[in-house]
Amino acid sequence: MAGGGKREARSRFERIYALLRSRICLLDYPPGMRLREEDLAEEFATSRTPVRRVLARLEDEGFLRSVHGVGTIVTDIDIDSLQQVYQLRVELAELVGKLSPVRPDAARLEEFRALLDRCDRLKGEPDAREFARINMDFFHLLMTLTANEPLREFSERLYYQTTRIWLKTAARLTRYEDMLQAEIRFFRHEVADIVAAIESGELETVGHIRRSHVAMSFARLYAEAHPQSP
Amino acid sequence: MAGGGKREARSRFERIYALLRSRICLLDYPPGMRLREEDLAEEFATSRTPVRRVLARLEDEGFLRSVHGVGTIVTDIDIDSLQQVYQLRVELAELVGKLSPVRPDAARLEEFRALLDRCDRLKGEPDAREFARINMDFFHLLMTLTANEPLREFSERLYYQTTRIWLKTAARLTRYEDMLQAEIRFFRHEVADIVAAIESGELETVGHIRRSHVAMSFARLYAEAHPQSP
DNA sequence: GTGCGGTCATTTGTACACAACATCATGCAC
DNA sequence: GTGCATGATGTTGTGTACAAATGACCGCAC
């Protein structure tokens, strides 16, 4: 076996899937947008069939909704309907570091530290999109701290479902520069805390830190959407 | 709109999906079995296309594995690889009753109580398949105790992935009658405990009870597969 | 007898044509 | 002018033919 045929087909599927999901989560495909299977097929130089395979999965995961005769529509999100998702995300965050914890090696640890530099650079030139990307890389690094496959899979699902709401909320604010700056500071603090916890080998502490930060992040978003009454 | 066209297509998809998943979990389709898309298409009086949509989802969820040129194969399972799945299942079990708890109404409560009768009847005529079915009904009833949609979805995924191992282990034992009787007793005890907790309004306690029973169930299975050394 | 190569049957993956369905514009009746 | 029927247009869902890939079988050389 030359080792390429079938694996190539599979990797292509994963590539298209990851790309489309990324576009949805970065709001390149904003909620409500209609995707055309034929356009996507043309972009990836294939027919509708493999594209439909990807769209079906994204629909199963709640990112899309295909309606016969109408189109494939990016699902809408709002902070209220995501409350349950966040509640579960908070719980799962704590489980990372508790179930099948994996101590990172030197190289992995260096990747964590590199995020601190990226945060600092971002502070000089704030950009919501770049922030979202760093946040995503950080998340994936965190997932390497547990070997529990189902936990990783579910956490990833919840993460991608909730990450859109941040960019959407930020885009709505008239002066979102302040919020962005503040969020970047919060985030850098979280990364620093977690790096410290990792360095002292307290993987379970990582889970607790992460849990509280996810919860607080949601609280801030929620407050932003629901101006408090006296 | 006469209200039937598209919804019918969707309900058909769900029906086929639930049926195939059920067959896999009840070992009607045992691990390693090869399914033929064309056969399934014929059974459901349709073409391969809708069947492939269902198989793709079952593959995404880890029940099947399609191999080009070979067939669609029911995935194998073993107690060791399911350890992580069980660990997460235990944690999620506790969250039911904690996240968005829903107090059951009188009718729902009656359904719980009815399970006790089914258990008692089962004691008189032990049957692994019927036991698995009661267990499944009980699980679905438990899911009505939380309104957290993602939690329900994930719990369901983990439940179906782990339920197969029980029947598989039981089928292997030479004298599985004893084990079955014992398991039925354990299970009836669990149902009774949980009914009592529900009646006193302690939904969070339900989660704790469930957690410990799932954990102990796994421990028994694990011990069965790994004869203890002194 | 054994190992190797090729041929064939079988099955999933892909491409494409067509059906089902929803939406919007158009025009006609009143 | 308004309301409704009707057709045009566009999109996803389904059926089907064909390509790609795998494994089994057979025959042949040695």
Q: What is the pLDDT of residues B91-102, one digit of tens each?
A: 999 999 999 999
Say yes or no: A161 and A49 in one domain.
no
Q: The domain containing residue A161 runs over which residues?
A: 83-225
> Tokens 């998809």 identify what position?
B13
Residue B44 lies in a domain: yes
Least CA distance to B85: which residue of chain A?
Answer: A150
**Do A108 and A215 share a structural domain?**
yes
Which nucleotides of strand D lie within 7 A of protein CB?
A: 10-17, 20-23
Q: Is residue B36 classed as helix, strand or coil in its secondary structure?
A: coil
- Near-strand D residues (CB closer than 7 A): A 1, 5-6, 34-38, 48-49, 52, 66-72; B 9, 12, 46-50, 53, 67-70
Q: Please indicate, yes or no, if residue B230 is contained in any of the structural domains.
A: no
- B150 to chain A, closest Cα gap in Å: 6
- Quick one: CA dihedral B155, B85, A164, B99, positive or negative? positive
User: Is residue B213 within 8 Å of B92, Cβ to Cβ?
Assistant: no
Report the distance from CA of residue B1 to the C1' of nucleotide D1 in Å, as an integer: 28
Amino acid occupying residue B165: I
Distance of CA B92 to the CA centre of its chain: 14
The reply to whether A99 and A206 lie within a common domain is yes
The Cα A58–Cα A18 span in angstroms is 10
Number of domains chain A is built from: 2
A136, pLDDT greater than 90: yes
Taking the CA of residue B219 and the nearest CA in chain A, the distance in Å comes to 17
Q: Which nucleotides of C are covered by protein (CB under 7 A)?
A: 10-17, 20-23
Task: Identify the band that residue A7 occupies on the pLDDT scale cut at 50, 70 and 90.
Answer: low
Low-confidence ranges of chain B (pLDDT < 70): 1-7, 229-230
Residue B59 and residue B128 in one domain = no
Same domain, A18 and A45: yes
Note whether A143 and A211 are within 8 A (CB): no
Mutation target for A interface from B53, B90, B92: give the one with most A CBs within 10 A. B92
- As a rounded value in angstroms, the CA-to-C1' distance for B76 and D27 is 37
* Cβ-based contacts under 8 A for chains A and B: 61
DSSP B100: S
State how far the Cα of A176 lies from the Cα of B130, in Å rounded to an integer: 59
pLDDT for the residue B7: 60
Candidate from A15-19, A26-30, A38-42, B226-230 with smallest mean pLDDT: B226-230
Tell the residue number behind the tokens 């529509």, with chain if given: A73
Question: Which of A85, A149, A158 is opposite residue B84, by nearest beta carbon?
Answer: A149
Does A5 score more than 80 pLDDT?
Answer: no
Question: Coil, strand or helix: which one is B25?
Answer: helix
The closest CB to that of A99, out of B5, B6, B88, belongs to B88
Determine the average pLDDT of the residues in A186-196: 97
CATH number of the domain enclosing A56:
1.10.10.10
Whether the per-residue pLDDT at A85 is higher than 50: the answer is yes
